[in-house]
Amino acid sequence: MYKLCDKAGVKRVCVHALRHAYATRAIESGMQPKILQKLLGHASIKTTMDRYVHVTDESMEDAVRCFEKRQKENMELSDRSGTEIGTVSVQTEAENPGVPSRQSREVSRSEDRSIKET
Protein backbone atom coordinates (compact mmCIF):
# COMPACT_ATOMS: atom_id res chain seq x y z
CA MET A 1 0.00 0.00 0.00
CA TYR A 2 2.86 2.37 0.84
CA LYS A 3 4.27 1.96 -2.67
CA LEU A 4 0.93 2.94 -4.19
CA CYS A 5 0.71 6.00 -1.93
CA ASP A 6 4.26 7.04 -2.83
CA LYS A 7 3.59 6.55 -6.53
CA ALA A 8 0.40 8.65 -6.30
CA GLY A 9 2.18 11.31 -4.28
CA VAL A 10 -0.22 11.11 -1.35
CA LYS A 11 0.28 10.63 2.36
CA ARG A 12 1.03 7.05 3.31
CA VAL A 13 -1.86 5.15 4.84
CA CYS A 14 -2.13 1.52 5.79
CA VAL A 15 -5.02 -0.69 4.74
CA HIS A 16 -6.19 -0.98 8.32
CA ALA A 17 -6.63 2.80 8.55
CA LEU A 18 -8.95 2.56 5.55
CA ARG A 19 -11.18 0.17 7.52
CA HIS A 20 -11.53 2.82 10.24
CA ALA A 21 -12.26 5.54 7.68
CA TYR A 22 -14.80 3.30 5.93
CA ALA A 23 -16.55 2.46 9.22
CA THR A 24 -16.75 6.12 10.24
CA ARG A 25 -18.09 7.30 6.88
CA ALA A 26 -20.54 4.40 6.64
CA ILE A 27 -22.14 5.34 9.97
CA GLU A 28 -22.14 9.04 9.05
CA SER A 29 -23.97 8.24 5.84
CA GLY A 30 -26.68 6.33 7.71
CA MET A 31 -25.63 2.70 7.55
CA GLN A 32 -27.11 0.63 10.35
CA PRO A 33 -24.43 -0.34 12.90
CA LYS A 34 -25.38 -4.02 12.80
CA ILE A 35 -24.91 -4.10 9.02
CA LEU A 36 -21.50 -2.47 9.36
CA GLN A 37 -20.54 -4.99 12.05
CA LYS A 38 -21.31 -7.86 9.66
CA LEU A 39 -19.47 -6.21 6.76
CA LEU A 40 -16.35 -5.73 8.85
CA GLY A 41 -16.60 -9.27 10.22
CA HIS A 42 -16.73 -8.32 13.88
CA ALA A 43 -18.26 -10.70 16.43
CA SER A 44 -19.30 -7.79 18.64
CA ILE A 45 -21.03 -4.51 17.81
CA LYS A 46 -18.93 -3.02 20.62
CA THR A 47 -15.76 -3.60 18.60
CA THR A 48 -17.28 -1.95 15.55
CA MET A 49 -18.62 1.11 17.33
CA ASP A 50 -15.93 1.63 19.99
CA ARG A 51 -12.80 0.78 18.00
CA TYR A 52 -13.60 1.47 14.35
CA VAL A 53 -16.14 4.28 14.23
CA HIS A 54 -14.74 7.69 15.17
CA VAL A 55 -16.52 10.96 15.86
CA THR A 56 -15.25 13.56 13.41
CA ASP A 57 -15.31 17.31 13.98
CA GLU A 58 -17.75 17.59 11.08
CA SER A 59 -20.18 15.04 12.53
CA MET A 60 -19.97 16.71 15.96
CA GLU A 61 -20.77 20.12 14.44
CA ASP A 62 -23.67 18.64 12.44
CA ALA A 63 -25.10 17.03 15.57
CA VAL A 64 -24.88 20.30 17.52
CA ARG A 65 -26.54 22.25 14.68
CA CYS A 66 -29.33 19.66 14.47
CA PHE A 67 -29.87 19.82 18.25
CA GLU A 68 -29.95 23.62 18.21
CA LYS A 69 -32.48 23.61 15.36
CA ARG A 70 -34.78 21.20 17.24
CA GLN A 71 -34.49 23.28 20.42
CA LYS A 72 -35.41 26.44 18.51
CA GLU A 73 -38.44 24.69 16.98
CA ASN A 74 -39.53 23.46 20.44
CA MET A 75 -39.16 26.96 21.89
CA GLU A 76 -41.28 28.42 19.08
CA LEU A 77 -43.99 25.85 19.81
CA SER A 78 -43.84 26.68 23.52
CA ASP A 79 -44.16 30.40 22.78
CA ARG A 80 -47.40 29.70 20.95
CA SER A 81 -48.81 27.50 23.72
CA GLY A 82 -52.02 29.50 23.93
CA THR A 83 -52.83 29.15 20.25
CA GLU A 84 -55.33 26.86 18.62
CA ILE A 85 -54.04 23.30 18.40
CA GLY A 86 -57.05 21.00 18.12
CA THR A 87 -60.81 20.62 18.08
CA VAL A 88 -63.01 19.43 20.94
CA SER A 89 -66.74 18.74 20.79
CA VAL A 90 -68.72 20.58 23.44
CA GLN A 91 -72.35 19.95 24.45
CA THR A 92 -74.48 23.11 24.39
CA GLU A 93 -78.15 23.94 24.75
CA ALA A 94 -77.81 27.56 23.62
CA GLU A 95 -79.87 27.34 20.43
CA ASN A 96 -82.43 24.72 21.47
CA PRO A 97 -83.13 24.73 25.21
CA GLY A 98 -83.75 21.21 26.46
CA VAL A 99 -82.23 19.60 23.31
CA PRO A 100 -78.47 19.13 23.55
CA SER A 101 -76.50 19.83 20.35
CA ARG A 102 -72.83 19.38 19.51
CA GLN A 103 -70.57 22.31 18.75
CA SER A 104 -66.85 22.29 17.86
CA ARG A 105 -64.36 24.85 19.00
CA GLU A 106 -60.58 25.21 19.02
CA VAL A 107 -58.77 24.65 22.31
CA SER A 108 -55.36 25.62 23.61
CA ARG A 109 -52.94 23.23 25.35
CA SER A 110 -53.87 24.56 28.79
CA GLU A 111 -57.59 24.08 28.09
CA ASP A 112 -56.89 20.63 26.70
CA ARG A 113 -55.05 19.65 29.90
CA SER A 114 -57.87 20.91 32.13
CA ILE A 115 -60.48 19.07 30.05
CA LYS A 116 -58.57 15.79 30.46
CA GLU A 117 -58.13 16.37 34.20
CA THR A 118 -61.88 16.79 34.83
β partners of residue 86: 107
Count CB-CB contacts under 10 A for residue 27.
19
Residue 55 has a pLDDT of 92
Cα→Cα distances 109→2, 62, 72, 76, Å? 64, 32, 19, 14
CA distance 32 to 26: 8
Where residue 9 falls (left for φ over 0; alpha for ψ -120 to 50; beta otherwise) is: left
Q: Is the pLDDT confidence value at 23 over 90? A: yes
Q: The whole model's pTM is what?
A: 0.54
Q: What is the pLDDT of residues 36-48, one digit of tens each?
A: 999 999 999 999 9
Q: What is the pLDDT of residues 77-106, one digit of tens each?
A: 877 765 544 444 444 445 555 554 444 444
Q: Nearest CA to 108 among 81, 88, 89? A: 81
